[in-house]
A and B are shown apart, each in its own frame.
Chain A
Amino acid sequence: MAVDISGDIIEVENLEHSFGDVKAVDNISFTVRKGEIFSFLGPNGAGKSTVINILTTLLRLQKGTAKVAGYDVDKEPEKVRESIGIVFQELTLDRDMTVRETLEYHGRLYSMPKEERRRRTEELLRLVQLEGKGDTRTKYLSGGMKRRLEIARGLMTRPKVLFMDEPTIGLDPQTRIRIWEYLREINREGTTIFLTTHYMDEADQLSDRISIIDHGKIIITGRSWELKNKLGQDLIYLESSDNRAAAEMLRELGSVKEITEKPKGLVLMLSGDGTHLLPKLMEMLTERGIVITTVNLKKPSMDDVFVHYTGRELRDEGAEKMSSAIIRAGKR
């Protein structure tokens, strides 16, 4: 039914949305290809949910155009609604309905035939490991179980496009990984997934392409490795007795693409292999009487990409920090 099945399943052009004085979405354009997993990565208040709300027809489009599954969200909202599934950021369960009733209600809303509803319900309960909980009221589920139920609900109708607003928020690491697996699985079966997240690893590992979004704008879009490669092949972080002098000197080196100053140290982006450069570089600095106190060589991570493009850290104090702390400890 949908127009141009092969190409872009979401097309957004010059989208803007304001709440009073707050410009939540500021002239955003992007496309999502059919069959992709596409992520919006951005900090709190970046405008991710607002974009999702517009694309899912919950918010009236103010400015720009947006098409989902070939239908204009402003002109044919019903058609859009038929083509999509949504997992909302906040819990949207009826506390007094059972798990099975929740899925049943959803299936009915989408006019699924009875037989299919039943079959799909059991299938999904198995998928999200809630088999034993079918007749439990949702208020008696743990937070993670509720989230899994909502994800199951989003999958119920096998939508063409599945929107997921921070799908794995509040889930334990095992469950997150399991859910990523489900998502890859249903993606392989043909569902396009649009997700928002502020987890670096989620964007990194799950998505085909990522848009970094901040202050209502898309800052950069690309495949995870493309984004990382833009930062260079390797990154060196160092702290020394005189960071300014060190920076000046290192800027001369051909293989250093860019240097950013941090509160206590420097980040060097390298266009080449860092493993050979690092010893030379340390030697040079030592010759000039600059004492290196900390040094760390690593591949750019999504974290670095994010910090580079937004100038801010996402509160994602995860493995990255740990590993550099360990290297630091090892140096002493």
Chain B
Amino acid sequence: MKTGFLTIYWRDMLRFVRFRTLLFTSLVQPALWLAFFGVAMSNNFDRLTATLPTIPGVPTVGYLTFIGAGVIAMTTLFTSLFGGTVLLFDKNWGLMRETLSSPLPRIHIIIGIGLSGMTKSFIQATVIMLFGLLIGVRFFDGYTLSRTLISVLGIMLFVGVFSLGFLFLSGAIAISMESPEGMQAVITLLTMPFFFTSNALYPVESFPPLLRFLSTINPLTHLVSGIRYFAIGNNFSAIGIQYVYTPNDILVSFLSLLTFAAIMFLIARWRFSKVSVT
């Protein structure tokens, strides 16, 4: 049963491609975000910041490029937080009883759901990047092919670890909840602080100290930093603020995400060991 999680993975992906509308909306929605919000806001921001002096020697990127990373990160957050919902449905509609009474170790359910959710996030991130490039997000600007490939890999690594963390969290919530409505409410409540204390849509430099602190322990911030580092570069300015990422910063961000994922895994494992379905 070493590869038992593949069974869970297989079934979850089966459902993903089966629900065509769901598949379609999950891909189109982030693209629309980028298209409408991104384009509208970037017109505003770019006009406001046009008068700011550029920092010599530092490339300046437009707002659309700036939030391109944010949209990838937010989409990953949402998809992952909802990724465990299937477990709640399974629990309520009975299929969970089949799975739990089978020899499959419970840990494999968590891993399987984590991996399938991660796959979905990879697909979404890819779609957003491609679509973004199409509408003027300047990712990988002036990169060689090999640097682009490495950068994409780097982004996926960040997206992957981040999504695993939130999928484990989502799975832990799902298995502890009674109703889909309750789960929906908890998740909506959860997304708010992650969302607004991150650097996904605006710079956190001008936050008051408490918010600033929250932003530094927010996994979303670390994901966004990672994506920007790989997609835009280690030194650029946007909205009049200079961003410098040292490899050390990025390593810290990555380790933060790993830690987050590990903690969430432990929580999920604990919740799963408690579950009894009758």
Residues of A bordering B, CB below 8 Å: 49-50, 53, 56-60, 78, 81-82, 84, 86, 88, 90-97, 101, 105-106, 108-111, 153
> Are A110 and B102 neighbours in the complex by a CB distance under 8 Å?
yes
Q: Given A58-B276, A109-B104, A92 and B14 touching (CB < 8 A)?
A: no
- The residue that B18 contacts in the complex, of A56, A88, A93, A96, with Cβ under 8 A, is A96
> Are A59 and B276 neighbours in the complex by a CB distance under 8 Å?
yes
Alpha-carbon gap, A60 to B100, bound state (A): 12
89-132 of chain B: CB within 8 A of chain A: 90, 93-95, 97-105
Chain B residue total in the interface (Cβ 8 A): 26
- The residue that A90 contacts in the complex, of B6, B14, B94, B276, with Cβ under 8 A, is B94
Q: Does B134 contact A (CB under 8 A)?
A: no
> Are B98 and A96 neighbours in the complex by a CB distance under 8 Å?
no
- Minimum CB–CB distance from A19 to chain B (whole Å) comes to 9
Q: Does B11 contact A (CB under 8 A)?
A: yes
Which partner residue on chain A sits nearest B278 by CB separation?
Answer: A53
> Are B103 and A109 neighbours in the complex by a CB distance under 8 Å?
yes
Alpha-carbon gap, A58 to B278, bound state (A): 7
> Are A81 and B94 neighbours in the complex by a CB distance under 8 Å?
no
Alpha-carbon gap, A79 to B107, bound state (A): 16
Q: Given A58-B276, A58-B278, A60-B276, A96 and B19 touching (CB < 8 A)?
A: yes
Contacts of A56 in B (CB 8 A): 101
- Minimum CB–CB distance from A147 to chain B (whole Å) comes to 13
Given A108-B4, A109-B98, A109-B99, 5 other A-B contacts at CB below 8 A?
A60-B276, A94-B90, A94-B93, A95-B93, A96-B18
63-100 of chain B: CB within 8 A of chain A: 90, 93-95, 97-100
A to B CB contacts below 8 Å, 25 in the list: A49-B278, A53-B278, A57-B101, A58-B100, A58-B101, A58-B276, A59-B278, A81-B103, A84-B101, A86-B97, A92-B94, A92-B97, A94-B93, A96-B18, A97-B11, A97-B14, A97-B15, A105-B7, A105-B11, A108-B7, A108-B10, A109-B98, A111-B4, A111-B103, A153-B98
Q: Given A53-B278, A59-B276, A96 and B7 touching (CB < 8 A)?
A: no
Alpha-carbon gap, A110 to B99, bound state (A): 10
Which partner residue on chain B sits nearest A53 by CB separation?
Answer: B278
Contacts of A49 in B (CB 8 A): 278
Alpha-carbon gap, A110 to B18, bound state (A): 24
Which partner residue on chain A sits nearest B104 by CB separation?
Answer: A109
- Minimum CB–CB distance from A291 to chain B (whole Å) comes to 55
Alpha-carbon gap, A58 to B90, bound state (A): 15
Q: Given A58-B276, A60-B276, A92 and B103 touching (CB < 8 A)?
A: no
> Are A81 and B7 neighbours in the complex by a CB distance under 8 Å?
no
Alpha-carbon gap, A105 to B99, bound state (A): 9
Q: Does B277 contact A (CB under 8 A)?
A: yes
Which partner residue on chain B sits nearest A106 by CB separation?
Answer: B98
Alpha-carbon gap, A97 to B99, bound state (A): 15
Alpha-carbon gap, A111 to B2, bound state (A): 10
Contacts of A97 in B (CB 8 A): 11, 14-15
Top 6 nearest A-B pairs (CB, nearest first) are A92-B94, A109-B102, A108-B7, A82-B103, A81-B103, A94-B95
Q: Does B185 contact A (CB under 8 A)?
A: no
Which partner residue on chain A sits nearest B11 by CB separation?
Answer: A105
Alpha-carbon gap, A110 to B4, bound state (A): 9
> Are B276 and A86 neighbours in the complex by a CB distance under 8 Å?
no
Question: Interface 1/0s, chain B 2-40, versus A by CB < 8 A?
Answer: 001011001100110011000000000000000000000
Central interface residue in B19, B90, B95, B98, by most chain A CB within 10 Å: B98
Contacts of A60 in B (CB 8 A): 276
